A and B are shown apart, each in its own frame.
Chain A
Amino acid sequence: MIEAHGITRTFAARRGMLGRGGVRALRGVDVTIPDRGAASFIGESGCGKTTLGRILCGLEDFDEGDLVIDGQSMTALKPKERAPHYRRIQLIHQDPYTALNPTRTISQILTDPLRLRAGQTGAGGTWVTERRAQLLELVGLDPDYVLPRYPHMLSGGMRQRVVIARALTVDPVALVADEAVSMIDVSLRLGILQLLRDLRTQLGVSVLFITHDVATARYVGHGGELYVLYRGTVVERGPTDALIASPVHPYTQSLLSAVPVLRGIESPARDRVVPKGPLDERAEVPGCLFEPRCPFAEPDCRNQPPPLVTLDSLGDAPGEAQAHACLHPARRSVVPVPAVRGTAPEDPERSVLPTQRPTEPGPSPT
């Protein structure tokens, strides 16, 4: 069980001091990931999701808040004592090539951490080779093929599997996959996503998936929770499928509206939400952070940042309740729907760029 409470992280600007000219990457983020759970983080670039992932792995410090791993608070420990705990949360990088040492074979890359582990547990000589083969088979690779090779001799998909195998050498409780498939060929992505999903059931490992591509988040995070981040705050969270089907916060709706519609097999959604204008990382506003770009903004949205509010739902366990941070939430259906054969429009002409008028839930002209 991994809990993050009120994590705040500010990066100092090159000139100027912390707090003035600094970029607030995370502002009081709360995350709960149960054992064997799945959590997906989506948002634009710069929303803080990568920083959050790195903080959870212990690769970045945080300024305020606390991180509790299996009941142990990280802030209560001295820096040197934290490492063994952070080791249980492993990061899978976006770029599988730079994640592997180009001058070493896969065999050497996997043997190093295994030997360390063997030293700690006092395991015998053959344990390392056996475990190595076991892990490779677990991630779907043939040990005879892969072990003698160098990283550049493998495809992107295979490299990423090696990275996952390496992460598993320390028996982690959670894997943080930061855009783990975005640099892999399209036909190979599903394999990696399925692998991550299977690791949850087979090894009981939690998976945190960070991405800007909602479709992949939907795939890996099935049965888990989806967090939508905007400028360092969680603006909406809830069960993955429920959230995608009927999001409530305008920012989530704009992200889901941005998913391309496949002609012939999908029909455009009923509603479409487009933010007014681009993201300004530096603008500090007194109220809701999304207000300057929100097409449904009301005057009271400027007064104060909306708190995260839970919608009435099935229960209180994480992943069952949908929560959002909007003063005027409205359910809109913004995700393309599968077309019924024969009725899909050949050319889903969608309106371009105008700001949307606020809509009531209900059919609206596109």
Chain B
Amino acid sequence: MTGEADLATADALDRTGSGAAVAVRVQDLTVTFPTPDGPLPAVAGVSLSLVPGGITGLVGESGSGKSTLALTLLNAVPFPGHVAAGAVSVDGIGDVLALRRAELRRVRGAKLGYVFQASQNSLNPLKQVGKQLLDLGRSHGVRDRRALLRRARQLMDEMGMDAARVLASYQHELSGGMRQRVGIVFALVLNAHVLILDEPTTALDMLSQAAVLDIIRKVHREHHLTTLIISHDVGVIGDLADRMAVMYAGRIVEEGPTAAVLANPMHPYTRGLLTAMPRISGDIGAARPLPGRPPDLASIPRAGCVFRPRCPLATDGCAAAEPPDTVLLDRRFACYVTAGELA
């Protein structure tokens, strides 16, 4: 089905025409927001490399900074936040954060595809989907509109949608699952090789969620994408991602291959989160709630480990300074106590 014809169309739109998977590296990123107590970081010193050609998952609750991080990848930090330090380097583009407006516009959509939550009405309610697609093409200077539509139809067929009907529909005529799929189409239609999905299945029921996850898997594989999925749902990440990172209070507290992190979590927060998750299998009695609550910007501890207030293993040594990353083969985590145990 795809293959030669697909690449031919893709090449027509993509001038770089690279076939290799794109690497995305976030380096020491810090994003701050002004508050009455001064600027505070929503993302603090985060470094993350997306698996080239693979699916990376980012898990975090509210206040973890994951949405801010996602938007920063597009250099789209919502006002009044701003990037205080760090870089986001993408193969073939350089540092996204250094791009100016015109270059940035070109990159967004054409190189980096971003899919919003289904519940956010990111589609124009007054225009048909097909028309918005053409708008997208026009704003990126795409001349061959027919090729654009053809590619969109191809993507929609891959996702099991009735392309003709969907292109002619308005946003309110589509279900949540459909809107999410349309979002993915929009993100990929300009042949981006990096796909960022922010909470792709929140607000969808189980069956729609499973269908969307299948589609993400399929599209990822067939178009050789580098994919980043951000979700608060550990199940979604656990099912889909090759590697996962756990974010808490603006920091990445643990990162590694998904199976390894889930089977053998190193950071107390990851452990606590997994124990506190109601699961479909396993012993119900083994589940334990996590004490306290996720911090917001103002209540993140200013010194020491950010997880200390809720951590069952916290010692006095955790109060002095933030724990550095401990690297163990292809995993890393930031905890004094676990590092001490392993030493």
Contacts and interface: CB of A to CB of B under 8 A. Distances in A.
Interface string A181-208: 0000111111101100000000000000
B61 interface: yes
B160 A353 contact: yes
B259 A344 contact: yes
Contact of B278 (A44, A215, A264): A215
B62 interface: yes
Contact of A341 (B175, B214, B217, B263): B263
Interface string B271-291: 011101111111010011110
A189 B293 contact: no
B123 interface: no
A72 to B, nearest CB: 35
Interface string A293-335: 0000000000000000000000000000000000000000001
B259 A255 contact: no
Given A189-B276, A263-B239, A346-B259, A335 B281 contact: yes
B191 interface: no
Contact of B210 (A257, A263, A264, A266): A257
Interface in A142-169: 155-158
A8 interface: no
B5 interface: no
Nearest to B241: A263
Nearest to B293: A155
B257 interface: yes
B306 interface: no
Interface stretch (A104-112, A129-137, A216-224): A216-224
Contact of B262 (A186, A194, A213, A265): A265
A193 B209 CA distance: 23
B106 interface: no
Contact of A218 (B62, B234, B242, B284): B284
A219 B207 contact: no
A263 B242 CA distance: 9
B218 interface: yes
Interface SS of chain A: loop
Interface residues of B, number: 52
Interface in A9-59: 44-45
A297 B205 CA distance: 23
Nearest to A266: B281
A314 to B, nearest CB: 21
Interface in B208-243: 208-211, 213-214, 217-218, 232-236, 238-240, 242
B171 interface: no
B235 to A, nearest CB: 4
Given A278-B175, A344-B263, A263 B238 contact: yes
Given A262-B235, A262-B262, A187 B210 contact: no
Contacts of B238: 260-266
Contacts of B206: 44, 212-214, 255, 258-259
Contact of A260 (B239, B274, B288): B239
A275 interface: yes
Contacts of B236: 260
Contacts of B287: 190, 219
A337 interface: yes
Nearest to A257: B210
A346 B293 contact: no
Contacts of B160: 353
A244 interface: yes
A254 interface: yes
Contacts of B280: 214-215, 218, 244, 256, 259, 335-336
Contacts of B217: 352
A263 B290 contact: no
Contact of B235 (A193, A259, A275, A278): A259
B72 interface: no
A44 B176 CA distance: 12
A190 B232 contact: no
Contacts of A186: 61, 232-234, 273, 276-277
Contacts of A278: 175, 177-178
A157 B239 contact: no
Nearest to B310: A187
Given A190-B276, A264-B262, A336-B281, A258 B218 contact: no
A109 to B, nearest CB: 20
A284 interface: no
Interface string B176-215: 1110000000000000000000000000011111110110
B218 A188 contact: no
Nearest to A213: B206
Contacts of A266: 238, 281
Contacts of B272: 187
Contacts of B279: 215, 262
B155 interface: no
A264 B270 CA distance: 14
A193 B290 CA distance: 13
B262 to A, nearest CB: 4
Contacts of A335: 280-281
Contacts of B178: 278
A338 interface: yes
B247 interface: no
B263 A265 contact: yes
Interface in A109-136: none
Contacts of B87: none
B201 to A, nearest CB: 9
A274 B207 CA distance: 8
A347 interface: yes
Nearest to A277: B160
A166 B262 CA distance: 38
A133 B294 CA distance: 25
Contacts of B273: 186-187
Nearest to B240: A260
A244 B279 CA distance: 12
Given A45-B205, A194-B289, 5 more contacts: A188-B293, A190-B276, A190-B290, A215-B235, A264-B263
8 contacts: A44-B207, A186-B234, A190-B287, A218-B284, A259-B206, A262-B235, A264-B238, A265-B238
